[in-house]
Structure 1
Amino acid sequence: MEQVQLQLQFKVAALVFFSILPFKSSSPYTPPDPYYLLNCGSSAPSTNPSSDDNRAFLPDTQVSPPTGKHISIGDTTSSTLYAAARVFTDTSSYEFDINSTKTHTVRLHFLPLTTAKYDLSAAVFNVSANDEFNLLSNFSATNTTTRVKKEYFINVGAEKIRICFTPINELAFVSAIEVFSIPDDILPSSKPPVVWPSELNFSVSNQALETLYRINVGGSLVTPSNDTMWRTWIPDDHYLASGDKSNLNAPANSINYDLGGLTKEIAPNSVYDTCRNMSSQNSNITWEFEASGHATHLVRLHFCDITLSTLYELSFNVYINDEIAFEDIVPGVLVGRLASPFYKDCTADSRRLSSGGKWLIRVSIGPPTKMSWSMSGGILNGLEIFKLVPGSVQHKHNKKPRLIVPCIVVGGGFALLSAALLLFLLYRRRNRFKSEESTTLAANADVSQSTVWSIATNMNLDLHISLSQIKSATKNFDESLVIGAGGFGKVYKGVLKNGGGTRTRVAIKRASQRSRQGFPEFETEIHVLSGIRHRHLVSLIGYCQERSEMILVYEFMSKGTLRDHLYNSDLPSLSWKQRLEICIGSARGLHYLHSGLAHPIIHRDVKSSNILLDDDFTGKVSDFGLSRVVGRSGESHVSTGVKGSFGYFDPEYVRTQQLTTKSDVYSFGVVLLEALCARSVIGKDLPSEEVNLADWAMSWHKQGLLQQTIDPRLVGEINPNSLRVFGQVTEKCLEEYGADRPTMTDVVWNLEYALQLQETEMAREPYEDSTSCATELPLPPVIGRWPSISNVVTINSSVDRDTESESTASRVFSQFMTSEGR
């Protein structure tokens, strides 16, 4: 009981200190589970003013007493951190209850005190975590005036963290310890790309990493109180090896975290608002960092275009150890807005770059590989280097050799030789196909403008419409013909003259000179829509690219957007049947994109304003400027920066930056709620619990009260069983993890079923509940389909698929229809 009370006191005290910290640039991160700040060897709470960090560090014996033989030395009553130390004379450990298997930060602080009896500068010892990771081997802190801080990221896989100290020459010690969980998006959840010659492509989800360097490139020292995660970022001056050393500073509070999908836990403003910029295209800027030999590292490069020029002026390469790590980076393409931060991760081995020289990690930025019209330089804002921590801790009592070891060594030798040969062959194959991959849409949506420009020459010239025709159709862009506007520019209603005197109504989207979007979106839209045709996808009629104009011409959708018919307009309300049919049509369009082509297409910006309605209120998906193609067979995702619209973002995509077809499914789930509730996805003027449509509606759904969210104009109109099925499929679409969400095939089936239930007034079969028996007959499990569309419909990659998939689906669903149905 006393131990529980002490831990409670610690948490309360720590929470108070976290809440009153004088953070200058941002609020501190609050760990969601137990966290520990230990003043080791002291009997008094301490702070750490020397590093501009005023958090409370509480006595270790009160919070998490160490095991084994130990004593405390120094001024054990001082309120200054590092005034005392915990000294171990035999193997000892701290054990922390964390109640979470998330990745945790562990920071170990050392200052070797000297007393009449003990000289800690002579101590040599090992430190391990959970009997699995060797954090420190043969470690000693010899400078009695310099504080040493070691930081690690450990994926625990258990509900305890055990930090063990093992003396080698009779003494081990520690001055302070920090243990706390980190947000899920701090470290990559997938395997970062490898920069040759690294042979270990590891995932940090089951590893431990040691922080070697955390650099504020072009900026000054960032202390813990200016970082939400209490990190220190040091200036890069000492590590600059060659090149232009000019730096840039952005205006205060100019960094836009929203579009890049990042948070200040990734890196603070003070890192992104400074940088080194490569003003000359004829030389690189290079940094060099000493590293351990034959070690594998995670390298994170932070970028933020603070040049405050145009979106596409920067284009550059990044090199690690003189090998290309990232080619033709164009920040404007990756995030679509100036001063929006993003980062790139890769793994690399340390390398001896000269005979007999030091082992180094060398980082450079330089001119782009390909010729580009956007060649004004490159930038780097921040840099972090982490070392993979060795695992498999060896204990003293395990030193006796075993016969199995030679067998493992011999077998392992053959395995390594085989792996090395395989890697070599894969490397050669990768280089051989690299140029081929660059011509696919999957490879060009997030590459430099030079690549995009080269592809532009291969656009479908049969679709080209002259600028004079466009001007004639819009009466020289008469403002009275504007029917909408978006991130790309204004949309005009127009009439194109065809051969034979006929005319065609069209919608003409003209790029604005101030648009946040640009040529990549323009080019992507043409490539996507020129190769496909489907009844529920808006058709591209043509495009115009003359005199710096970028114009897209579509079929005219007379009824406007789905959003306009739901809220914020004076248009007549749609019936529940109409809303279901529009959602079904849109889902069919997305199903075709995901499953009906040789390579799936991910829309990436599904929202109610991108679902257009024709004269018959047929729903069609539009705006493919952010779309991505899953380029290679067997791939399930595309790694890319987060783009889309607020309120519709797939949380897993935001966390991992891995885009999948299930990202579209999540966004479509939000659209389904818009159709039901007829309100905006983000209600800024609403009470806090109602701001986010998805959170608010799903909270009612979990209580079995989804009817509380219905558009008042639909009250009394919706069959309870139809609402039940609709709510269940929406909930599945909005699952946090993509693997738990349905495919669009499943979504189409269940929406069709919800429509059938809406139109059925009398129960015909157990699966067709009527309103009168809504509470008596159970519905079949939603998402667990009966006749699967994917099992019935055979779709090839033909470009003209107006009706086939829909007619086939209709045959599938006809077995559930009654005479009162559709």
Structure 2
Amino acid sequence: MTNPNPPHLPKHLSCFLLFVSVIHAVLAANYDPSDKFLLNCGANGETSDDDGRKWTSDVRSKLSGGSSIASDAATQKPSVPTTPYTTARIFESEFTYSFPVSSGRKFIRLYFYPADYANLVARNGIFSVTVGPYTVLKNFSAFETANNLNYDFFHKEYSVSTESGTLNLTFTPAPNHPNSYAFINGIEVLSHPDIYSSKGTSMMVGLSTSFDIGNATALENVYRLNVGGQAITPSGDTGLFRPWEGDSPYIYGSDIGVFVATDQNLTISYPSGMPDYVAPVNVYKTARAMGPTPQVNLGFNLSWYFDVDTGFSYLVRLHFCEIDPNITKNNQRVFEIFINNQTAQPDADVVAWALKNEVPVYKDYIVFLPVGSPRQDLWLALHPNTEQKPNYYNAILNGVEIFKVNTSDGNLAGSLPNPIPNQSVIDPSRVLPRSSGKSSNKGWIIGGSIGGVLAGIVVIGLFVCLLSRKRKGRKTQNSSDRTSNWLPLSLYGNSDTSDTTAKTHGSYAPSIPSNLARHFTFAEIQAATDNFDEARLLGVGGFGKVYKGEINGGATKLAIKRGNPLADQGVNEFRTELELLSKLRHRHLVSLIGYCEENTEMILVYDYMAHGTLREHLYKTQNQPLTWKQRLDICIGAARGLHYLHTGAKHTIIHRDVKTTNILLDENFVAKVSDFGLSKTGPAMDHTHVSTVVKGSFGYLDPEYYRRQKLTEKSDVYSFGVVLFEILTGRPALNPTLAKEQVSLAEWALHCHKKGILDEILDPHLRGKVTSECFKKVAEIAVKCLADEGIHRPSMGDVLWTLEFAMQLQESAGEGSVDLENDEMPLSGKLKGFDDNVTDSTSTGLSTSIGGQSLGSEDSYGLTPSAVFSQIMNPNGR
């Protein structure tokens, strides 16, 4: 036996060194679990996995519940390891595994290979799993999970705290799914040290409150990454058998930074009190940093994004180790950490935290993702800190662990993961640089989920319903039925019976002041339009056809909208528009000149708009593209018109159909809001909304209004937000020919904003023409307009103020201003996901219906539009 006291050392010093070495050996040694169960479910005998671990059969395990079946997989893909994925145990009723355990934390790992077993179809394997008092899976489909992630096999990992006794795992087939069953290939129960508890020391990101992860907290590991390094197998971990992925699939954008690695012979020194099983040494020997060029580093964020469930809190553990030999002192490398667009750490300094370089340290952050869409991206981003004036404008990260935290009712179950995105469609570049302001929402680091697929599904579904409904109606109606709803307004109690003309023609004239709206005879309208010559046709809308007219020997030009008795829109919209526009006068509202109502004819006469609709100057047009200042000025004008409707009239007026085809341009490109056929008078002072049947144009429709059928002026604000993104991107509100996540402009723009790539969908005609500050301001207010709930949207007055301020920013920059391309925010030459030859929904014959009205996009290309007003681009306009 070796003498522990070498003769050349004093005895007391030798004892001290021995004590230190023993302590270090204990801390450095792999963790030895007190409880360790590895069950190869459905198998016979003992087998070994690829890491050399021994798995036993579950035949002799303590099982309870209904009957079960042990089965081999019908097919075994070459990529799938034999253990523990070759066999499975199948349950067609509730079934429980019981494990005798000591007190403390346990890793519970469930292994799945979704294949056909025992003549059961893999797709029908839908079930729930509870671990003690915690629900970890609910209505879970291993088949769909693997399919969405493009995995052949996978495992789920949980950490729960147990008392000494029995730990139960219960599998329950989904009762609401026919032929459902539960299955499991492998179960691992492994004690682990309580290394993820916070004891109230972790702070909620964005809040000043602490968060306690204690014995009553269950965790699900959703991501564990070796940042900047290779994947680490379970056997390469520290006795806890945690697999560590590489971070390449999660790094965002083309600016992926640089890999940093130490000499493998370098000794990483774990600090006192931090055992090495917190993370393996190979996590700390590699890292990802931003790069050597400060100017480049200041222009982007080093970002990762992670698909997660909403409605949960997440523990985000970041591992750091300063392994650059040039960085040995405080304030040499200082950076900001953002999680979900909030500042988690304004001044991260790894050396200051660890007290020296080559010493690991980790930091825990808690972030809550409120319920919204079932899943969204959790963002992590790093950016150099400039306020501390460090030696290097750079950032570094070695590892990431993300854990879902159970809700108050013990739930950890979430939704299916989103399908892996098509990288050929989404080709992200660098994110926008951060704002110079001090807001906690630093820069443009965004978190969020794509809903364009939902829009596509809804569009198709509604189209089918509308088509079926129309065909059915045509079969049951005769010719008299088709015109039964087209009656003179006099029959609705609006005529003056003392007026002979009114009784004869059903004229609406007596209720309208003659100085506000002229009553045209039908003969005058025929003369003005050359008897509705098709050569004068400007377009077609839901109300009917629109013609260019001339009176006074051609000196006065008019836009004449002739109602179609067979159209979906009729007397109510005619009456609404007539009532409203006869009483409203504003520079930015279309002017009603007069009307004609004779012998079932309903005709509205407007001032002629020489430059037609805003849409005609944005996409699918031969018109010269509008300049950025023109677009901004048009939006300011339209906002003034809507602001007047909301606040300047006697009663609040909600337009209800704001879109680019309802914003008209006169000969000087002055914007005029048009088409008030769907408008509603707003709520009284003691009410917050108007309850009404949902009408509007799909792609612009307020989702809250659609869900609740409660209309407010904020519904117009939402639609106007879509208009703002149309002028920014030069694409339609709906385009089903694009990839499904890009069908809805509103959803796609919000997604790009969350990803920090909103600049990439900028209209190519605007590149080099928009100052970055102006762009940010317009994009910021557009995003706010599209808030899911009206209470979180700005008023139209706030929108107007912001747009006017944006115009000042643009004009104050002058002709020699720095544009987006030169403001450290490079833009690709071609927009990602946008075709230069954009086509719209009507090019495929697509239309939809809500509330009995068409909700298709208005952009039909069957006509050559000229100076068109209102929604005249589709016969089924709304």
Whether TM exceeds 0.5 here: the answer is no
Q: Which has the higher contact order (CA 8 A, sep 6+)?
A: 2
Which structure's CA Rg is the greater one?
2
Q: What TM-score do you get using the length of structure 1 for normalisation?
A: 0.43
Q: What TM-score do you get using the length of structure 2 for normalisation?
A: 0.40
* Structure showing the higher helix proportion among its residues: 1
